[in-house]
Amino acid sequence: MSAKKRFRFFSSDITFDAVNSVLLILVFLVVAYPLYYIVIASFSAPELVLNGRITLFPQGFQLDSYVRVFENPDILRGYWNSIMYTVVGTAINLLVTLPAAYAMSRSDLRGRTFFTLFFAFTMFFGGGLIPTFLVVQQLGLLNTFWVMVIPGALSVWNMLICRNFFQTNIPSELLEVSQMDGCTNRTFFIKVVLPLSKAIIAVMVLFYAVGHWNSFFNALIYLRDDALMPLQMVLRRLLVMAQPDPAMGADMMEDWVRMMMEVEMLRYALVVVASVPVLILYPFVQKHFVQGVMIGSIKG
């Protein structure tokens, strides 16, 4: 390669890398600034936030908003409910997803193709909201703790990811050797398959836990008791309260502004507090995350 061609080659690489770097930095700023703004607004005086005077740094630094969050009984109850829904719901998800995925990964399962198509069908077609509501009502789950964890016990997409993982990483020869030693299918799954599947289990924990923690639609549709409401519904109520009524008079608008000062004390701090559990969970599963997803997506 001549020196001229070599120079063109390297210069084109440098240009490509520079353009990519600039674009990635811009994307990062667009994504990161709203998150950063929420954090600095939670430490700023609410009147300054309402007046739009917060841009890059906190103004009127205060911690009263976080004190109000942890003193509010509705928020604490919603926080506890979300924790319980996340822990119990994720446990049920794993108890259903992992055995189903392992069974679907076995080549000796009769009707495996039929069951795969049967599960896949539900990814594209559903009964709709009203039939689902009627089923939940007939099962006696309406306005109970279990309505938040039972209807979504299985995610077909996650089950297929686990199935592909088992097919790729659990060789059939290992099962044959275990069966020669008198190992049953249940014992093989518990003592061999699960210990070898820590990566995909960590990924499933993250997927399901984040889904439960952020879930509010089921609570909006199926729950009526405030004592059962998750944290996301409390946050939604605060956001709805932030919307003024166009028909308000001057006196009512003043009352609304005073109320908004109280709401502003809670809103941004509550968003930060609601994000903490996910931020704590992610570092523990991050090392398994890429490995579990990539290995589970090689073979379909």
**Per-residue pLDDT, 76:** 87
Cβ contact 156:124 at 8 Å:
no
5-31 pLDDT tens trace? 555 545 567 887 888 889 999 999 888
List domains and CATH numbers for the chain: 3-62 (no CATH), 66-297 (1.10.3720.10)
**Per-residue pLDDT, 262:** 66
**Per-residue pLDDT, 257:** 60
- Classified as helix, coil or strand, 18 is helix
**Per-residue pLDDT, 146:** 93
The answer, yes or no, to whether residue 286 has pLDDT greater than 90, is no
Q: What percent of the chain has pLDDT over 70?
A: 82
149-206 pLDDT tens trace? 998 899 999 999 889 888 888 888 888 888 787 788 888 888 888 888 888 888 898 8
- Stretch 204-229: mean pLDDT, rounded? 89
- Stretch 117-140: mean pLDDT, rounded? 88
Q: Which two tokens stand for residue 186?
A: 């249940």
**Per-residue pLDDT, 12:** 64
Closest CA to 81 of 183, 291, 229, 202: 229
**Per-residue pLDDT, 2:** 54
**Per-residue pLDDT, 300:** 43
- Stretch 104-119: mean pLDDT, rounded? 87
Q: How far apart are CA 60 and CA 182, in angstroms?
A: 70
- Classified as helix, coil or strand, 189 is helix
**Per-residue pLDDT, 197:** 87
The answer, yes or no, to whether residue 132 has pLDDT greater than 60, is yes
Cβ contact 295:169 at 8 Å:
yes
Q: How confident is the model at residue 90 (pLDDT cuts 50, 70, 90)?
A: very high
The answer, yes or no, to whether residue 47 has pLDDT greater than 80, is no
Q: How confident is the model at residue 113 (pLDDT cuts 50, 70, 90)?
A: confident
The answer, yes or no, to whether residue 51 has pLDDT greater than 80, is no
**Per-residue pLDDT, 23:** 92
Q: How many Cβ atoms sit within 10 Å of the Cβ of residue 222?
A: 19
Q: What percent of the chain has pLDDT over 90?
A: 16
Average pLDDT value for the chain? 81
Q: How many Cβ atoms sit within 10 Å of the Cβ of residue 268?
A: 24
Distances in whole angstroms, Cα of residue 67 to Cα of each of 172, 181, 266, 270: 57, 61, 9, 11
The answer, yes or no, to whether residue 98 has pLDDT greater than 90, is yes
**Per-residue pLDDT, 242:** 54
**Per-residue pLDDT, 254:** 60
